[in-house]
Amino acid sequence: MNMTRATERPARLRSVFISDFHLGTPGARADLLLEFLAQLDCEQLYLVGDVIDGWRLRKSWYWTSSFDAVLRAIFEQSRRGTRVIYIPGNHDEMFREWIGLEVAGITLAAEAVHEAVDGRRFLVMHGDEFDGVVRHLKFLAHLGDRAYGVALHVNRWFNLVRRRMGYSYWSLSQWLKRQVKEAVKTVDRFEAALTGEARRRGLDGVICGHIHHAEMRMVKGIQYMNTGDWVESCTALVEHTDGRFELLDWQALRLLRQPALADG
């Protein structure tokens, strides 16, 4: 199943899954994430890793007031009664030392099993545990991370020119990733590995992040759902109160609602 481009903001949601904010990097779309969080009304909020980019912050400090605002918005969700579960990823692996603790109402966990309205059970994890490059050749992962950063930098200038010419946003880095056959194979292997783990545990599916590619599809009878990211795609996986799962494309949604956003 491909991403659903919703035309209106859903009412109260049962569960929301978001990941890969990469706060601490120039590419983090904190502005869009803040818009999303400000309108969010849900029972459960899963932060599925790479909320803060410790890799980049260790190299050079980059932090803005909008990043602080994102964290405050998450804490506000918890204060309003939303159950918030934070599953650290590889870029914020420093928080894995806090697994099992509750901080300001937010529970830190290595992984979770989410039970949907219809009784289906899903493994929720960041997913880097099943990325062979990250696990066994971390120096290559850092090298790829640097190249990705360059692509995002070029992408920002490219889209600045597009906006001035009256064109809509277009992701150069995502297009490049789609053109590389080996990258596609890597995504397929990643999906197969995670769905295989869910099958091994007797679960119905898996919900993850990590590879910045929002997706919903069945893989050999197991439901695979990837939340995407808040650097390029700006997507969220949501579970409605009737049990339906949907991928929300926030950039597409806000464009459809642009007059309302401008008035508000």
Instruction: Check residue 51 and give its pLDDT.
Output: 98
For residue 4, tell me if it sits in a domain: no
Instruction: Check residue 165 and give its pLDDT.
Output: 77
Instruction: Check residue 140 and give its pLDDT.
Output: 40
How far is CA 139 from each of CA 92, 96, 173, 187, rounded to the nearest angstrom? 16, 20, 21, 20
For residue 227, tell me if it sits in a domain: yes
Backbone φ, ψ for residue 120 (5° rounding)? -65, 145
Which residue range is the domain that position 250 belongs to?
A: 13-263
For residue 47, tell me if it sits in a domain: yes
Instruction: Check residue 204 and give its pLDDT.
Output: 98
Instruction: Write the pLDDT tens digit of every residue in 114-134.
Output: 999 999 999 999 999 887 544
* CATH code: domain of residue 222: 3.60.21.10
For residue 166, tell me if it sits in a domain: yes
For residue 7, tell me if it sits in a domain: no
For residue 236, tell me if it sits in a domain: yes
* SS3 state of residue 35: helix
Q: Categorize the per-residue pLDDT at 181 as very low, low, confident or very high, splitting at 50, 70 and 90.
A: very low
For residue 1, tell me if it sits in a domain: no
Could you tell me the pTM of the whole model? 0.79
State the total domains in the chain.
1
For residue 35, tell me if it sits in a domain: yes
